[in-house]
Amino acid sequence: MTECVAQIVERTLQKRPMVHSITNNVTVNDCANIILAAGGSAIMAQDEREVAEITSRSDALSLNMGALRAQEAMLLSAHAAKRRKRPVILDPVAAGASRLRGEMCARLLEAGLVSVVRGNASEVWALMTGAQHTLGVEVNALDQVTEQNLSESARRVSLFSRETGAVVLLSGALDIVSDGKCTAVLRGGSEMMRRITGAGCMLTSLTAAYCGANPENLFEAAVAASGVMKTCGELAYRRVCEEMEGTASFRTRLIDAVSMLTGSDLAAKLRVQIL
């Protein structure tokens, strides 16, 4: 797995995948920058008159529910991606916080338009149960994956993957990635990732870049994204501690770390456990 993940990072730097994102207006710039840092190129477009054309020329599509608008554009793009066999990555931001978000995610999932779901625990559990788990974009502490509930959480993530046919990347202090057959756990990262907005959106964008360059290996691409984000979270945290800096610098250092990381750096630092 370590060797495969290192190759995914290197292939992404070589292939420069184009990622089309229809995303929120809070973290859009960080999403574009992390795609570029990983070696991809970014285009954000949401007018219904152009989205299918843009998706058709892109290597991956990222759909983020953060400040949900442009639903028709999302559907047009998702269908265009499916026709071209391009991966579609869904970030169900605050799914469960409103009916609109839950219904839009369900519509995409039920139509088989989603290749990878990347969300925090409250978002993934809300998609699975239809229940409200959180009012906002952050995880509810009661939903979080811990060492104590890890095996039950992993079982649920695997079940959700089989139900939807999508790879699922549930992030948090522990990240779980499953394609329904194989399930991986990644530890590490930094508590500071929760003190900036956009760490989750950036992880989704990174997943889209790695999936775009490695469409035959979506599970491994999602593991690569999780591993890169955890590793770079640690590097960025070390750097801000050394410099006595705060959260705004951490966000910059996180993007810096992704831009400097090679496949072999990742292979040396990756901590992945296959369950």
Ligand X SMILES: Cc1ncsc1CCOP(=O)(O)O
Task: Enumerate the known binding-site residues for substrate.
Answer: 44, 198
The phi, psi pair for 130, rounded to 5°, reads 75, 0
- Identify which of 210, 243, 249, 214 has the alpha carbon closest to the alpha carbon of residue 228: 210
Give the nearest distance from C-beta 73 to Mg ion in angstroms: 20
Q: Which does 87 bind (CB under 5 to 8 A by kind): ligand X, ligand ADP, Mg ion, none?
A: none
Q: What share of the chain is helix, strand, coil (3-state, %, to 5)?
A: 55, 15, 30
93 in contact with Mg ion (CB under 5 A) = yes
200 in contact with ligand X (CB under 6 A) = yes
Instruction: Specify the stretch interacting with ligand X by CB under 6 A; choose among 41-49, 140-148, 192-200, 228-236.
Output: 192-200
201 in contact with ligand X (CB under 6 A) = yes
Token pair 């995948």 in the structure block, residue: 17
- Identify which of 204, 200, 137 has the alpha carbon closest to the alpha carbon of residue 172: 200
| 200, 227, 233, 263: residue in contact with Mg ion (rule CB under 5 A) | 200
- Distance, CA of 49 to CA of 220 (rounded, Å): 34
Give the nearest distance from C-beta 14 to ligand ADP in angstroms: 24
Q: Which does 173 bind (CB under 5 to 8 A by kind): ligand ADP, ligand X, Mg ion, none?
A: ligand ADP
Give the nearest distance from C-beta 29 to ligand X in angstroms: 12
| 12, 21, 24, 205: residue in contact with ligand X (rule CB under 6 A) | 24
Range 108-112, long-range pairs (CB < 8 A, 24+ positions): 108/63, 108/74, 108/75, 108/78, 109/164, 109/166, 111/78, 112/82, 112/165
Count CB-CB contacts under 10 A for residue 181. Answer: 9
93 in contact with ligand X (CB under 6 A) = yes
Site for ligand ADP, rule CB under 6 A? 120, 138-139, 171-173, 175, 189-191, 193-194, 199-200, 203, 229-230, 233
Instruction: Specify the stretch interacting with Mg ion by CB under 5 A; choose among 46-54, 89-97, 105-113, 175-183.
Output: 89-97
SS3 letters across 183-217: EEEECCCCHHHHHCCCHHHHHHHHHHHHHHHCCCC
* CA 271 to centroid of chain Cα atoms: 18
Give the nearest distance from C-beta 136 to ligand X in angstroms: 8
Task: Give, as ranges, the residues between 45 and 74 that touch ligand X (CB under 6 A).
Answer: 66-67
Q: Which residues bind ligand X (CB under 6 A)?
A: 24, 26-27, 66-67, 93, 137, 197-201
